[in-house]
Amino acid sequence: MRAMTQVTLRDVARAAGVSMATASRVLNGSARTPGAEIGQRVRAAAQQLGYVPNASAQALARSSSGLLGLLVQDLENPYFAAIASGFQRAAAADGRLVLMAQTGGERVTTIAALRSLKAQRADGVLMIGSLNLGLAQRAELHDLLAELQDGGARIVSIAQDFGVGRVLAPDDRAGGAALAQAAVASGYRRLAVLEDTSRSPSAVARAEGFTAGAAGAGVGIEHRVRGSVAVTSGRDLGTAVLDLVRGGTPADRAAAGRLCFFAITDAIALAVLGRALQSGVRVPEELGILGFDGIAAGRESCPSLTTVDLPLREMGRHAYRMLRTPVGTELLEGPVLSEGLGPLGGTEPLGSTEPPGWRVEGSTVLAPGRFRRGGTTLRPSR
């Protein structure tokens, strides 16, 4: 009736003729490894009896669980989802288990998830998405991440630097500047930009880059549309942008010229595009729309988005490599080959602001982006 009974470590030790401590060292991966003959005997007994090692016991024996934590702000956001997908695929190819939690960008949820990962002796944690924190809250998060790191876990965050571990980020300022320069070169003189009320670091950097790029081309920002970069805000932001397009009399609008709106993300840009098309606003004749991220839906929309393409899945894969790289070693070993960075239809360099491939600045790895002119979203003036 052995098949109906759970096999214990004691059973394996008795069958192999060794102590429980020796059987545990063999099966749970302790640094104190018995001789090869004993190890072979223990593993053979475990296989014959159908013994399944206890994950908690393995973690205690190795002071490590083999578990990786993945904290994602919003899985409905294709930007976050693509990075998470790249990370999980890389971990799966390496035989690593990933425990994922969706935080909603909430501090309480994030703290609870990190404490759980600490209790489970996670080997590493990737945090995707930003948090809007006060000084005391930031200190609390910093201390918890430091405890995780002191316990042997490696920490990597996407875009936001929490003061612990390493950071992987797109070159947001360069991309924003390139988009502004492209808008001005295409004849737009009225520019508007989303001002993220949550002040996420990426959104702020992209808006600052856009403002600087426009100023360098001799054009100011006419409107700053306040709102959130959360995907659920797209419809309301679309309405606000359309109000700007429709303001004044037809003669006033004709004299002022067409407006170009930088939506900070592709997800918001697509929502604004949808509202414009539903309302009969012609894109790009009356309204130009700029995104940022390079999600697949932006290529497939009609008209397609003008945006900055990021190697999102490769960012996830490289974040995994960063977690596997000991502190103090090179973050980039040789060239990083990235999908999406080869020739694409309509893909152009960012010009003078194009990042020269992946590069390291301190504990931060900057991922490259490429400007992509949409099919009809941004049309050169004639």
The answer to whether 358 and 268 have CB atoms below 8 angstroms apart is no
In a domain, 250, yes or no: no
CATH number of the CATH domain containing 19: 1.10.260.40
| 333 or 279, greater pLDDT | 279
In a domain, 93, yes or no: no
Task: Give the model's pLDDT for residue 338.
Answer: 35
What proportion of the chain, given as a percentage, has pLDDT over 90? 47
Task: Give the model's pLDDT for residue 59.
Answer: 52
Task: Give the model's pLDDT for residue 362.
Answer: 81
The mean pLDDT value for 161-187 works out to 92
Domain range for 28 is 2-62
Task: Give the model's pLDDT for residue 20.
Answer: 75
The pLDDT mean for the chain works out to 83
Task: Give the model's pLDDT for residue 132.
Answer: 81
Task: Give the model's pLDDT for residue 359.
Answer: 82
The mean pLDDT value for 139-143 works out to 92
pLDDT exceeds 70 at position 212 = yes
The mean pLDDT value for 42-54 works out to 84
pTM: 0.74
Please state the domain count of the chain: 1
Find, among 163, 180, 92, the residue nearest to 127 by Cα.
Answer: 163
Task: Give the model's pLDDT for residue 224.
Answer: 96
pLDDT exceeds 70 at position 54 = no
In a domain, 48, yes or no: yes
In a domain, 47, yes or no: yes
Which of the four pLDDT bands, split at 50, 70 and 90, describes residue 142?
very high
Task: Give the model's pLDDT for residue 329.
Answer: 55
Task: Give the model's pLDDT for residue 35.
Answer: 77
**Highest mean pLDDT: which of 41-55, 87-101, 124-138?**
87-101
The mean pLDDT value for 92-109 works out to 92
| 308 or 358, greater pLDDT | 308
| 15 or 35, greater pLDDT | 15
In a domain, 163, yes or no: no
In a domain, 183, yes or no: no
pLDDT tens-digit readout, 238-281: 999 999 998 766 666 666 678 999 999 999 999 999 999 999 99
Four-point Cα dihedral 286, 251, 189, 186, nearest 10: 40
Task: Give the model's pLDDT for residue 341.
Answer: 26
In a domain, 44, yes or no: yes
pLDDT exceeds 60 at position 32 = no
Task: Give the model's pLDDT for residue 336.
Answer: 39
In a domain, 173, yes or no: no
The mean pLDDT value for 320-336 works out to 65
